[in-house]
Structure 1
């Protein structure tokens, strides 16, 4: 059994066995634990889970969106990435400009009411089309506020200065690899109200040892079934990209979660995944012609040898 799937599945079993039932912001309900850590040796393969298909293209385009400093959904939609759609859609349907059918609690209602779901899908499609084709609409309702990309690349300090945290990390690794300040923080207390979704993975830090780059990322809140597999793959990819630019090999990826939970409507999906036998992990190849991580597009990233079990669908809690 590969170690990536093993530690993930062990976490799922632990939550189901020892977790506490809790209410949550979305009204869905969770089974939750507080405080957990997972470790992945990136030398053993790229930690994209094999017990269900995790769409690497979506992981890659989301990360590249962050690295561009972008906060508007247009880039994601142009790359057929819809993992953030619901949060932008929520911003539109809760606005005074929206004149369509009532979309109150659309996330929960669409799961239990087939007729409503048809109407919801029509409105969601209309929203997606307007973000891609209408510049004014995209500026107003496609932007998610000062989320990850803004914080990573254009952090605004109390001194009024703007800081590119990713560029700082790269520069610091090159000049002082033993630094204990190779850290990026996405949690800006003064800007939480200007974000459609406050950062879940709120900070990460790099560590260089023996020519290898390791990364630890921290999460305040984590949807284990839908979110965590993406988060693991995303930070593994980020580590590979920064190691590539800094002429380092990859070391270890460490995940630290606070409120680590399984949504109540994901339990059956988790149980299905627990029944599957893990397969060999894939590897990742980066386009050697690209020197800067900011030059990469998702087609410059090649996933080799990925042979997972089929995808398992589950609703997103908004």
Structure 2
């Protein structure tokens, strides 16, 4: 089986999802086994690349297990608001960030409250959510409100106006498409210790080739079984939205991973998914063009031709 970094031409022609499956197999069969931050244990490789052509509405939406793309889309729209509290997600039934504030609550209060009960309190009690639902300055905060500080004459610094990187990239793509500085960066070194989880999908760079908008995503740490299916969809979604806003056609999504790993307690998921074959070619239609990149709604996105295999559940390592 060819590695994901050096895919065979035949594999790429068959179906783009084979890249993902070959990466999963490579890690599970050849990755180095080690103890990780969570204590669960992983098998890991250093460095991988996947490439997906988004022409004609194509999206890297995995078919060998059901991926809940609406959940990932709601998360992306939440990022673009700059919000850092999980309550707006909870009220939409999005569960993907719940474990981190719950773990902090249990650790700091000593109250062994069940996760479902904690999440219900977040939904029902706005004051409780303000105290315990915040994740710190994660993704969206850095994307649309990167903090700045101004030097004062008295020798001190005061908070300045935040930088909206997303808006700046949209404007730079319109005014200077050949620039090599179309970048959205989440890795704010000064604020990492305040985040519930430092950004995994940390750097997005956009590249214009003719009338096509390409995107490169660098991900420092990647849970291939649970995280990567969401990351691929979300990156392609952001690319599609920005392409629409800047009058480009969607081009290629290039995903690059640093520490690319599988958790040891995901063996059942890995075994089952590797026994399946991709089926169908899902496409995304964006039903309208909002006035700005920040005005999209979940109803704007319609996926067609998505007939995946069934979901495969596995625990999230926190």
TM-score by length of structure 2 reads 0.90
Q: Which residue of 1 aligns with 2:153?
A: none
- Is the contact made by 2:42 and 2:263 (CA closer than 8 Å) also made in structure 1? yes
Distance across 2 between alignment mates of 1:62 and 1:48: 16
Distance across 1 between alignment mates of 2:126 and 2:309: 40
Q: Which residue of 2 aligns with 1:107?
A: none
Distance across 2 between alignment mates of 1:289 and 1:220: 32
Distance across 2 between alignment mates of 1:131 and 1:16: 37
Q: Which residue of 2 aligns with 1:144?
A: 135
1:17 equivalent to 2:29? Answer yes
The worse-fitting range, judged by mean Cα deviation, of 215-224 and 288-297 is 288-297
Q: Which residue of 1 aligns with 2:101?
A: 88
The residue correspondences of 1:92-107 to structure 2 (distance < 5 A) are 92-95=105-108, 98=109, 100-101=111-112
Higher relative contact order (CA 8 A, sep 6+): 1
The residue correspondences of 1:115-134 to structure 2 (distance < 5 A) are 123-134=114-125
| Equivalent position SS for 1:266 | helix
| Equivalent position SS for 1:66 | helix
- Is the contact made by 1:2 and 1:279 (CA closer than 8 Å) also made in structure 2? no
Q: Which residue of 1 aligns with 2:220?
A: 220
CA-atom RMSD, angstroms? Answer: 1.4
* Count of matched residue positions in the alignment of Structure 1 and Structure 2: 296
| Equivalent position SS for 1:163 | coil
Distance across 1 between alignment mates of 2:203 and 2:183: 7
Distance across 1 between alignment mates of 2:127 and 2:87: 12
Tell me how far 1:158 sits from its aligned partner.
5.1
Gaps of 5+ in 1: 102-119
- Is the contact made by 2:15 and 2:278 (CA closer than 8 Å) also made in structure 1? no
- Is the contact made by 1:49 and 1:281 (CA closer than 8 Å) also made in structure 2? no
Distance across 2 between alignment mates of 1:285 and 1:146: 32
1:57 equivalent to 2:78? Answer no
C-alpha spacing 1:214/1:92, structure 2 compared with 1 (3 Å): same
- Is the contact made by 1:2 and 1:281 (CA closer than 8 Å) also made in structure 2? no
TM-score by length of structure 1 reads 0.90
The residue correspondences of 1:1-318 to structure 2 (distance < 5 A) are 3-43=15-55, 45-95=58-108, 98=109, 100-101=111-112, 123-157=114-148, 159=150, 160-318=160-318
